[in-house]
Structure 1
Amino acid sequence: MKKIIVLVLACVLVIACKETSKTENGNNIQITGDTLVGKDNIASPDSIHNMEWIDEELYPKSKDLPLFVLSTGIFHGDETSPEMINKGWFGIFQDRGRYYIAPTTLSIQKTFDVISDEEGDENNSSKWTGWEVKTSHIDTSLVLISSSPRLSSHEINTIPLDKDFIDPNEKMTFAYNGSSYTLYSTGDLKPAEYNKDEMIISKYKLYIKGYKDGKELNQLLASTSTFEDAIFRVLLIGDIDNDGFPDLVLNTSYHYNLYRPTVYLSSFADKNQLVKVVALHESVGC
């Protein structure tokens, strides 16, 4: 019984290490929408590469993206490596309600993985399999992005969010730098078989709509066939790459035990895109 309690507490601690802050503050902006609250749950230990709940219809995928993303915290052995340090990094940091992007130095060191490592090995670092990611900044980091010539140090004018995700078939409108944008979603809602008071979301798609060069564009940001006690969440809207257009950081997780920070930048966008997904990182809590 004691072992079960310890395992549950350990899972909670690992998940807590990977939580991120929500956006606050901003100037000359408007936003409308409602808020939905998800659940915190515990799952059995496993690797992101062989989880039974991996969604084959998920968009975006993690392959062939131009940049890399990480978060601070503790990760399983196959979720990062010390070689990632050599890529050079920027961080989006929060300081007293404001967000800014700046170069940062990463530290990725071996640590005890409370889920994967044997309990008796806690004091034997040679058997540790986890990785702890830290930055040289004392401010809280929302996300870490590998270096690119399109990134530079500056304060990010962010959209203050009254909600952090969009209900199926709902929308959220915001203004940025004199232009109007809309986040909206489509999806199916039906009562759960085991509980008619609980609604199940399926075939969910999240879009952004806005004008570019005088042309209205509707762009798919993320999609999934189903959620498992999760929902795509908006972590930040603001000009990350300093080109005058809004960028996004989303958590495109479709499962409660998965954290999937995903970065979309406007400076990488094609002719018929408002933003382009440039990086994402997948990690599990337990």
Structure 2
Amino acid sequence: MKKTILIFLSFAVITSCKDKAQDAPKKSLQHQKEVQSDNKPADQELNPTEETTEHVKILLPKEYRGLGKENEVNELTNNWLDLYQKNGKYYVGKADYAITRGYSECSGDSTRIINSKNNTIVLIGNSRLTMGEVKTVKIEKNKIWPKEKLKFHFGNEEYTLRAEGKVLSSEKVHTDEGEELYQNVKDYKLYLSANDAPENLFLEEESFNDTFVELLFIGDIDRDGKPDFIFGANRDYEEDRVILYLSSQAKKGKLIKKAAEIAIQFDC
């Protein structure tokens, strides 16, 4: 009798354990489904454009001051690309340069100087750009003053650059190209639109010290069939500042996005 009872109890325990083991995954799976239902799907939580945006860097063929042992020129390698002009056309190719050392009398800093062998617009790093000739737009005017517009065609689209701002004063100045208008502007804003689509505000500057925004380049650098832009945006006469805008990095509903910026100070 005792043997029979022991066998029966053992069978009951084994059966109970099996039932619990089979129920456990179901409860775990059910809990997992409940957690997932409370959260947004992964593709809604993250912006795909932001996820894949490259961290592009740019440099100019200029003199750079060192900060201790650090210098921006140290980032330049043979893997960098060069957007340059040759015989009236623009190309993306391998950077071809030499680096020399110098000294700044103004700041008392050691410097490193990038000497490009091309007529360089910007040197571009951390990029998967395709090398070769770049489709460009001839720039009719390089300064867009408040209340002015610049229209151009790219592909089948008509684009408009429009400026806003407060003009504090105006005067005629003499440059290498001859006499031209210069205006002292504050609260400057620059917009871009395509056809009849809403405008995108992409550049703002509160004030300038004897400088102004200058359009340096329009063309399809990233080869997505849409225009990219390079602007000189010095805020002070002792600064060289350039901004690269790429259409391929633009968020939904936008035309371009700032991809990189370089600002070089040479004040005393």
Same fold (TM over 0.5): yes
User: TM-score normalized by structure 1?
Assistant: 0.65
| Conserved 8 A contact 1:217-1:273 | no
- 2:104 corresponds, among 106, 113, 118, to 113
Structure 1 position 249 matched with structure 2 position 230: yes
Q: Quick check: 2:228–2:246 contact (8 Å CA) kept in 1?
A: yes
Alignment of structure 1 residues 139-218 onto 2, 5 Å: 139-149=118-128, 151-191=129-169, 200-210=184-194, 216-218=197-199
Which has the greater radius of gyration?
Answer: 2
Q: 1:250 to 1:65 in 2, by over 3 A?
A: farther
Counting aligned pairs with the same residue, the percent is 27
Q: Is the CA contact 1:228–1:255 (under 8 Å) kept in the aligned structure 2?
A: yes
**Structure 1 residue 85 corresponds to structure 2 residue 76:** yes
1:232 counterpart = 2:213: yes
Question: Cα gap change, 1:220/1:153 in structure 2, threshold over 3 Å: closer, same or farther?
Answer: same
Task: Name the CA distance, whole Å, in 1 between partners of 2:218 and 2:155.
Answer: 12
- Native 8 Å contact 2:76 2:125 kept in 1: no
Change (3 A) 1:164 1:281: same
* 1:69 corresponds to: 58
1:261 deviates by 0.8
Tell me, yes or no, if the aligned pair for 2:224 and 2:248 is still in contact at 8 Å.
Answer: yes
Instruction: Determine if contact 2:165/2:186 at 8 Å carries over to the other structure.
Output: yes
Match of 1:269, as an amino acid? A
Indicate if the aligned counterparts of 1:81 and 1:108 stay in contact, CA closer than 8 A: no
- Counterpart among 176, 199, 202 of residue 221 in structure 1: 202
Q: Which has the higher helix share?
A: 2
Deviations, residues 152-181 of structure 1 (Å, cap 9, x unaligned): 102112211221110111100000011100
Distance 1:261 1:102 in 2: 19
1:284 Cα deviation from its structure 2 partner: 2.0
Highest RCO, 1 vs 2 (Cα 8 Å, sep ≥ 6) = 1
Structure 2: how far apart are the matches of 1:207 and 1:82?
Answer: 32
Please tell me whether the aligned partners of residues 96 and 118 of structure 2 are also in contact (alpha carbons under 8 angstroms).
Answer: no
Distance 2:71 2:262 in 1: 9
Contact 2:78 2:94 in 1 (8 A): no
Write the deviation string for residues 75-111 of structure 1: whole angstroms up to 9, x where unpaired. 2224943430248311111111111111225544432
1:85–1:108: 8 Å Cα contact kept in structure 2? no
Change (3 A) 1:80 1:185: farther
Q: How many residues align?
A: 203
Higher strand share: 2
* Structure 1 residues 82 and 185: CA distance shift in structure 2, 3 A: closer
Please name the residue that 1:134 is paired with: 115
> 1: distance between equivalents of 2:198 and 2:72?
38
Could you tell me the TM-score, scaled by structure 2's length? Answer: 0.69
Distance 1:200 1:86, change over 3 A: closer
Structure 2 stretches of 5 or more lacking a match?
1-52, 171-181
Whichever residue aligns with residue 75 of structure 1, its letter is: Y
Q: 1:243 to 1:77 in 2, by over 3 A?
A: same
